[in-house]
Structure 1
Amino acid sequence: MINPTTAFRLIRIQRVLLRYGLDEFVFNLHLFRPLRYLTYLSPSYFLGKRKGSRGERLRKALEDLGPIFVKFGQILSTRQDLLPPDIGEELSRLQDNVPPFADDLARQIIESSLEVPIEEVFSTFSPSPLASASVAQVHTATLHTGEDVVVKVLRPGIEKIINSDVGLLYTLAELANKYWGEAKRLKPLDVVKEFDHTIHDELDLVREAANASQLRRNFEHSEHLYVPDVYWDYTRQNVMVMERIYGTPIGKIDQLREKGVDLKLLAERGVEIFFAQVFRDNFFHADMHPGNIFASDDAKYLAVDFGIMGSVTLEDQRYLAENFLAFFQRDYLRVAQLHIESGWVPKETRVDEFESAIRAVCEPIFEKPLKEISYGHLLLRLFQTARRFDMEVQPQLVLLQKTLLNIEGLGRQLYPDLDLWQTAKPYLEEWYKNKVGPKATFNKLKEHLPMMGEKLPELPEMMYQVLSDASKGELEVKWRSAQLEEIKQQMAKNHRKSIMAICGGSLLISAAVILGLDGFSPLMLGDAPLTTWVLGVLGGILLFNALD
């Protein structure tokens, strides 16, 4: 049952789509082309509401619908190779050019959070925002100590809007679970839960400031990435003050060329930064659209907006690294085996068939620059392969996949001739050597040596105690196993069923014997004694439960 709040939200979405004449998009899809004549029945057709280009109307509709829809547009905007130029250009404006809220309201929020007048904190403060996004907007200011800073302010009432949209996503996911055959494999409810957790983390600017501080430490002496400093004294849940950076937006390719920035080096560094964050630090910036990334003149990345960060489990990290390496080496058999070992595809999957399917998808894209790869076609083939082999979505990896898609999209814009695979391969090989090879074993031994030295004096006494108990016949071994517990439970269940079957059979035999006795005349029910009926029914129930 759809609750009233969700129903009203659906009605509002429909109104916005009609207001901007977006029925045009629906009927332009191949599936609905036979029904294009229905556009003449649309109110927007007769009322002339299709003002502006289709890209502009789509952008404005996403802005009106709120943060979650804006984020969807931001993700699309990073893949302009998959979009018509007019739509891609308009959606790129969603990265940092969403309509701002009132200047005086931003001032009120800052003063209320810091509990002092703005003039006591900043010597200058720009009331007009420098940038405005779906969740917050940014103002420039100068501290009394002379540092240039930016002040990030959450949009008022944003949590209520997000809760409404997330509730709608949950409703759609629950409906998908009930009525969509692919739901078991694609796990829509788990994906929405992951998104819910991520989007609500973005509403706490103290958490974002902590993320920025951690990432800054991870790349403190890096020549590839610079993370601005946080001013903790002026940071609250809905206000954050951070060092102001100066650079060229990564999406302004013409400006980067005019400044003589090495675009090939910039693209390669982007790939290296991604793999360093995921495999070296296990802590990665998961919102790397062009509105959040700048570049210095010496091809150094400057990052902002740390509300969405990601990490993976150590087990997933190892499987991912091995998958990437096997993929780069074209070892498709190993890729197939890893997917089965990790549980990403069912255990009963035939390895040879899965290997062949992966080879058919991946082999055509090797040794090609980004500009020659059709990722729309590749994604379609990957989805078909996943469906064929019942490959389940891994919700914990959705953020990582989104980030990789963003990085690849940035690389395509910066330097289309980039060889993504050869750029990443050396880094992964080095990581694998340090984590799995002899060097890794030595490092782990070195790390645990102090603890081993601490426990070593206790070993002789422990060994003596074990041998002494064994010689006296007092040695006890306690062993717990999930599989063993399951076997024990099954045995107990079978034992109960056996007893019920014996009892049920005995009662049925007793009923038959009583029915055949001469001279036995208890209470009658029909043509048979009542005792016979009681024993027969009880025996039948027990036997039925035993066989169930």
Structure 2
Amino acid sequence: MRYFTHLFQIIKVGYLFSRCEIPDNFLPKNNKSLLNKLLNYNKKKKKTFSSTLESLGPAYIKLGQFLATRPDIIGSKFAKELANLQDDLPKFDKKISEEIIQSEFNTNIQNVFAEFDAPIAAASIAQVHTGKLSDNQKVAVKIVRPNIEEKFNKDFDFFYFLADFMERFNSDLKRLRFKESIKTMQRSVQMEMDLRYEAAAISEINTNMNENDEYVVPKIFWEKTTKKILTIEWVDGISVRDREKLIEKKYDLKDLARIIIQSFLTQALRNGFFHADMHQGNLLINEEGKLVILDFGIMGRLGEKEQNFLAEILWGLITKNYKRAAEVHFEAGYVPDDQKLDEFSQALRAIGEPLSGKNANDISMANVLTQLFEVTEQFNMETRPELLLLQKTMVVTEGVARDLDPKLNMWDIAEPIVKKWMEDKISPDTKIKQGIEGLSRFGVAISEFPNFLSDARKTNETFNRFLEESQSRSRQSQNYFKRNSFWIITVVALISLVILITG
């Protein structure tokens, strides 16, 4: 039955997609195929790809926002279009929110909030109310939509079916791991539906901050937070989209643009954990002129490997050492072994050389990152979701900053953050530190080796007792293992030692 339900949904979605322009990778490779002809039957495309996704509901809006981070799948044109996809849905009744609160805390709402107001904003997963605690503290209360998990799970079930269907007609989607991308997106949405994860993200961002940072995050009220409810302090401020009001309050727009860029880069590069939804609706300026960041449902994380990779490749491009930049890709395992280093170096040169001689304010760092990721298709590189999310967030963040300062000099603003980051990541001191840490791990492993041998002897004794009791073994094989089991287990211990050292 489910199969026929999916087929009906494919017909519905296919009809809607036939009325709009869609990415090439969502079309069969065979231009003469019946499916291709059906999708291109309507020559006058009256709707956009983003508006079609909006019409299909919350899960499709999330799919569109996720695809905006994957220009390798849908192309730069559609990625830019979907970057502006708004997650704005009708509000549900305040009484439903009150029932959810009473169910979660198993008490009357008056015992949880002194005041609880009507919703002020709603998105695909949750909506936000204002309220007050017993001490008169004003708060923002985020509440997950009722039955939303069941609805999303149903849609994701169809997305997997659709991904299988599309991969049969376009092998490129297999290389781009489209189905795996759907799985990544589902994990992200599942975390968004548990508001404790968002609270934990706010807490981690706050822990990573230092006194010199020019951004702030709201305080969490953990005792008023559950899986379905998030309570944070209400923060007053002016939206960064309200240029006229910012000018009226005599804020320096150029400096605000700098703060936005540097705040994002600090999170991404220094801390390796960044807010990945830096659009205007999530950014305020408070009375002190600091950036207030809201809505931590979508976060990005860069591991040590990705941070080192970015540091070395940016350094390679800045110094025009394209061969070294190419080698970094190969060393990181991002480029398949069957590709040629010199050809990849040439591709990087094609990106770097046109930047020479241009004014810094004419060069978009986001565009440079986009070009870097566009070469993935040519060289059959595996997609890196964490780097693509960084690139998408950079595009959005740079756009927000340029709205405040059209003459934004991205490189000058980024230079102190990126320079310090690269010094920390690829300086000789760092390399020495990494070497010492490696030796330290080796020393720990060596110090543990006597325990390995002791455990091996104990295991040998147990193993011998097992062999004595076993009636299913032949006497010949029993004698063999008795003679050799200690050395077999010792070899296993040595292999474990090697793994510990190299791990």
TM-score, normalising length from structure 2? 0.73
Match of 1:204 in 2: 194
The CA distance in 1 between the partners of 2:238 and 2:390, in whole Å, is 26
The CA distance in 2 between the partners of 1:315 and 1:374, in whole Å, is 21
- 1:153 aligned counterpart, secondary structure: strand
Match of 1:101 in 2: 92
Match of 1:23 in 2: 19
Q: Which amino acid aligns with 2:414?
A: A
Match of 2:64 in 1: 72
The CA distance in 1 between the partners of 2:50 and 2:180, in whole Å, is 28
Q: Deviations over 1:197-224 (max 9, x none)?
A: 1111111011111111111121253441
Is the Cα contact below 8 Å between 1:271 and 1:407 reproduced in 2? yes
1:315 matches 2:305: yes
Is the Cα contact below 8 Å between 2:83 and 2:396 reproduced in 1? no
> Gapped runs of 5+ residues in structure 1?
43-49, 463-474, 484-548
The CA distance in 1 between the partners of 2:369 and 2:275, in whole Å, is 25
Q: 1:276 aligns with which of 266, 285, 288?
A: 266
The CA distance in 2 between the partners of 1:359 and 1:448, in whole Å, is 34
Match of 1:247 in 2: 237
Match of 1:424 in 2: 414
Q: 2:102 aligns with which of 111, 116, 140?
A: 111
Q: Deviations over 1:324-348 (max 9, x none)?
A: 2222333322221111111111224
Match of 2:124 in 1: 134
Q: Deviations over 1:338-372 (max 9, x none)?
A: 11111111224332222222222333246445667
The CA distance in 2 between the partners of 1:275 and 1:305, in whole Å, is 18
1:305 matches 2:306: no
Match of 1:392 in 2: 382
Distance 1:256 1:92, change over 3 A: farther
Is the Cα contact below 8 Å between 2:195 and 2:226 reproduced in 1? yes
Q: How many residues align?
A: 442
The CA distance in 1 between the partners of 2:150 and 2:265, in whole Å, is 36
Distance 1:335 1:176, change over 3 A: farther
Distance 1:298 1:305, change over 3 A: same
Is the Cα contact below 8 Å between 1:141 and 1:151 reproduced in 2? yes
Distance 1:71 1:454, change over 3 A: closer
Distance 1:166 1:421, change over 3 A: farther
1:168 matches 2:158: yes
Match of 1:181 in 2: 171
Displacement of 1:406: 2.2
Displacement of 1:453: 11
Q: Deviations over 1:262-285 (max 9, x none)?
A: 222222222222222223222111
Match of 2:460 in 1: none
Displacement of 1:412: 2.9
1:126-525 to 2 correspondences below 5 Å: 126-127=117-118, 129-219=119-209, 221-365=211-355, 367-368=358-359, 379=370, 385-440=375-430, 480=495
Match of 1:62 in 2: 54
The CA distance in 1 between the partners of 2:168 and 2:52, in whole Å, is 33
Distance 1:326 1:93, change over 3 A: closer
Q: Deviations over 1:116-172 (max 9, x none)?
A: 222222222212x12211211100011110111000000112112221232233223
Is the Cα contact below 8 Å between 2:215 and 2:290 reproduced in 1? yes
- 1:221 aligned counterpart, secondary structure: coil
Distance 1:124 1:63, change over 3 A: farther
Displacement of 1:426: 3.0
- 2:171 aligned counterpart, secondary structure: coil
Distance 1:305 1:71, change over 3 A: farther
The CA distance in 1 between the partners of 2:54 and 2:257, in whole Å, is 30
Distance 1:336 1:451, change over 3 A: closer
> Gapped runs of 5+ residues in structure 2?
24-30, 452-486, 499-503
Is the Cα contact below 8 Å between 1:262 and 1:298 reproduced in 2? no
Is the Cα contact below 8 Å between 1:336 and 1:355 reproduced in 2? yes
Is the Cα contact below 8 Å between 1:262 and 1:299 reproduced in 2? no
The CA distance in 2 between the partners of 1:215 and 1:440, in whole Å, is 24
The CA distance in 1 between the partners of 2:139 and 2:324, in whole Å, is 50
The CA distance in 1 between the partners of 2:343 and 2:441, in whole Å, is 47
Q: Which amino acid aligns with 2:101?
A: I
Displacement of 1:297: 4.7
Displacement of 1:23: 1.9
Distance 1:276 1:61, change over 3 A: closer
Identity of matched residues, %: 30
Displacement of 1:410: 2.1
Displacement of 1:250: 2.4
1:123 matches 2:119: no
Greater gyration radius: 1
Tell me the C-alpha RMSD between the 2 structures: 4.5
Q: Deviations over 1:213-260 (max 9, x none)?
A: 111121253441101011011111001111111112223333333333
